[in-house]
Amino acid sequence: MIAYQSCQAYEAYILGSQDEEYRRLILQARYTNRLTESLFARAGLSSGMRVLDIGCGAGDVSMLAADAVGSH
């Protein structure tokens, strides 16, 4: 027999969505952007490729990926 539990929808981002959290994500990006760009280069990310960023936070990695592949 399978037991089912009811699920509640969570509308709030688990790490917070206030200005303080957004500032933390931006500060974190400042420290990691060079590493992320280096990883993209080592992975062979290049113009014309497609990228899917799941769980993109403030979007900084998505923007770096867009820079690496170009906009189409």
Closest CA to 29 of 41, 68, 21, 17: 21
pTM over 0.75: no
Rounded CA-CA distance 30/38 in Å is 14
- pLDDT, one tens digit for every residue, the chain (72 residues): 565 556 565 566 566 668 888 888 888 889 999 999 999 999 999 999 999 999 887 788 999 999 999 976
**What per-residue string of b and e applies to 15-38 under the rule 16 or more CB within 10 Å gives b?**
eeeeeeeeeeeeeebeeeeeeebe
